[in-house]
């Protein structure tokens, strides 16, 4: 059996949308699963849509996601170059071969000629005029002009394009690994341009020539390319080449299921649609998952399940486990609704499973911290169950890094009773006596204090939290106390009580 070779073939027309990352991911998983090769090819034949920086962005994003191809620009490989504009010279002979075999033809119609035909057709009630097997007979091309004139025009350097000579009334059938059999009649297809007047091939010609010459075995790409597949099949046939297998992936839909997730949706609906930040030359910023604080594993895990399911209830997968479980048969035909809340849930699960030492390192990358590694690890262990992003540990757990400078006045006013300050002072006196300042010991002492005073836990624990941390919720108070240490706890009780006093006075 010939080996599996798949490609991700983005056009550098902008940053990589997360739908594109998912296409790359499925290609990567499929290749790894079959001990094959995953390569990247940059399809930049449309020079008018070229965006500077997009190629670097794409490579950088794939790297962050951990799904790097092994062949591609800057990566080496035996089938290069991997950027179509660098392969420019290769394509024309293929287009000429098709002309020689009467499967394609030169067309000399100017943009104005084509506009005129469209307008005329519209005026006659046909809004969708196409250059096709019927209309080509009334256009200026090598099928209608005498050969001598064609030769003259070519010799003169008259601008031309090369068009596919679409056969009439033929059913093109092909099998898609996700969609099953697809049948399209050629009467519904136009004579697509294969080679342009600027000397570049179009996407269609370059894509087929490259997939063939790069020995691609499976074409795994987005559903938006399904309408082009019949033309591609006909091109393989015209060249007498074997067709790769096709798999067209379902669309990514907006959270409400209403239409395709577009690059504008993300920031508008409050979530990124790009793997990493992208700033346009006009200075407009599109946010990315990396900069929002997502770990790549969570992002990739979430994407893997957008359109594919493992057939079990397992949701958390490492990349290796995804490779193991992945199959194209389990990719659905239906569009996959993106769920921003579920995406956060994945991030939460990943954050929780990170070793404290790694999380501590992430905190240091975000900001400069004076705490020792050990202290940071203890903070992480206290906070990580309540955090979604590493950043949350810094903000929600700020009191573990510094003494609180602000206190939740609303909760204090609501919960502080006339006897509360007295209880806290009594509890403080017990702390002073405590020699073994561990959470278990603190908890035991606290509980016997409560039962002696016949108090409910809320009467003292929440006030104690408020004076120590300034806020009304957080990890266990006894663990926090142990972490802060006796001296710090005592100092914070004094400072906290003074702050409470002031708040109650202001009220």
Residue numbers at the binding site for ligand GLU (CB under 6 A): 9-11, 43, 203, 207, 221, 225
Strands across the sheet containing 37-40: 37-40, 5-8, 218-222, 245-249, 171-176, 180-185
Minimum CB distance to ligand GLU smaller for 24 or for 300: 24
Q: Which are the contacts of 375, defined by CB distance < 8 A and separation ≥ 6?
A: none
Minimum gap (Å) between residue 85 Cβ and ligand GLU: 13
Query: For residue 86, what are its two tokens?
Result: 């660098």
Minimum CB distance to ligand GLU smaller for 18 or for 360: 18
CA distance 56 to 58: 5
Name the H helices within 145-243: 147-156, 203-213, 229-239
Minimum CB distance to ligand GLU smaller for 9 or for 466: 9
Whether 212 and 90 have beta carbons less than 8 Å apart is answered as: no
**Cα–Cα distances in angstroms (integers) from residue 34 to residues 66, 177, 327, in the given order:** 18, 16, 10
Minimum CB distance to ligand GLU smaller for 206 or for 468: 206
CA distance 383 to 374: 14
Q: Is 261 exposed, middle or buried (0-12, 13-18, 19+ CB in 10 A)?
A: buried
Minimum CB distance to ligand GLU smaller for 43 or for 109: 43
Residue 263 bears catalytic tag? yes
Minimum gap (Å) between residue 84 Cβ and ligand GLU: 9
Minimum gap (Å) between residue 106 Cβ and ligand GLU: 25
Minimum gap (Å) between residue 46 Cβ and ligand GLU: 9
Minimum CB distance to ligand GLU smaller for 10 or for 463: 10
Minimum gap (Å) between residue 14 Cβ and ligand GLU: 10
Q: Which DSSP symbol is given to 198?
A: T
CA distance 440 to 67: 46
Catalytic residue among 260, 263, 337, 342: 263
HSE, CB side, 13 Å, CA atoms: give it for residue 470. 16
Minimum gap (Å) between residue 228 Cβ and ligand GLU: 8
Strand partners, 72: 76
Long-range contacts of 367-373 (CB under 8 A, 24+ apart): 367/394, 369/401, 371/401
Q: Hey, which residues are catalytic here? A: 263
């Amino acid at each position: 059996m010939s080996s599996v070779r798949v490609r991700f073939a983005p056009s550098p027309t902008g940053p990589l949308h997360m739908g594109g990352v998912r296409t790359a991911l499925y290609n990567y998983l499929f290749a790894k699963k079959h001990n094959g090769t995953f390569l990247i090819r940059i399809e930049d034949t449309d020079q008018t849509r070229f965006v500077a920086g997009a190629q670097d962005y794409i490579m950088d994003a794939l790297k962050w996601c951990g799904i790097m191809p092994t062949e591609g620009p800057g990566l080496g490989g035996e089938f290069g170059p991997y950027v179509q504009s660098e392969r420019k010279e290769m394509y024309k002979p293929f287009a000429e071969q098709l002309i020689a075999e009467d499967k394609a033809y030169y067309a000399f119609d100017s943009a104005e000629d084509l506009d005129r035909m469209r307008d005329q057709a519209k005026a006659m009630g046909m809004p969708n005029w196409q250059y096709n097997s019927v209309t080509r007979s009334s256009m200026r091309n090598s099928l209608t002009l005498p050969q001598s004139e064609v030769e003259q025009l070519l010799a003169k350097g008259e601008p031309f394009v090369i068009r596919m000579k679409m056969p009439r009334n033929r059913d093109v059938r092909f099998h898609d690994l996700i969609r099953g059999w697809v049948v399209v009649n050629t009467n519904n297809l136009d004579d697509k341009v294969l080679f342009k007047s600027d000397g570049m091939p179009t996407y269609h010609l370059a894509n087929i020539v490259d997939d063939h010459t790069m020995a691609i075995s499976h074409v795994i790409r987005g559903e938006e390319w399904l309408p082009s597949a019949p033309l591609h099949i006909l091109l393989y046939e015209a060249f007498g080449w074997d067709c790769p297998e096709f798999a067209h992936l379902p669309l990514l839909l907006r959270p409400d299921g209403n239409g395709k997730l577009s690059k504008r949706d993300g920031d508008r609906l409050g979530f990124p649609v790009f793997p990493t930040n992208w700033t346009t030359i006009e200075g407009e910023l599109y946010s990315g998952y990396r900069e929002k604080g997502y770990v790549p594993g969570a992002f990739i895990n979430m994407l893997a399940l957008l359109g594919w399911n493992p057939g079990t209830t397992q949701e958390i997968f490492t990349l290796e486990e995804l490779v193991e479980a992945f199959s194209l048969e389990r990719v659905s035909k239906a569009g996959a609704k993106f769920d921003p809340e579920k995406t956060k849930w994945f991030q939460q699960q990943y954050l929780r499973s990170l070793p404290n030492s790694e999380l501590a390192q992430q905190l240091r990358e975000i900001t400069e911290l004076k705490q020792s590694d050990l202290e940071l690890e203890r903070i992480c262990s206290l906070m990580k169950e309540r955090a979604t992003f590493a950043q949350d540990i810094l903000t929600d757990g700020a009191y573990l890094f510094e003494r609180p400078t602000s206190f939740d006045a609303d909760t204090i006013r609501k919960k502080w009773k006339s006897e509360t300050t007295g209880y806290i002072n009594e509890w403080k006196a017990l702390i002073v006596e405590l020699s073994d300042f561990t959470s278990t010991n603190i908890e035991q002492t606290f509980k016997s204090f409560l039962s002696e005073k016949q108090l409910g836990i809320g009467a003292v624990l929440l006030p104690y939290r408020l004076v120590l941390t300034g806020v009304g919720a957080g990890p266990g108070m006894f663990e926090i106390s142990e972490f802060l240490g006796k001296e710090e706890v005592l100092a914070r009780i004094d400072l906290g009580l003074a702050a409470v006093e002031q708040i109650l006075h202001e009220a």
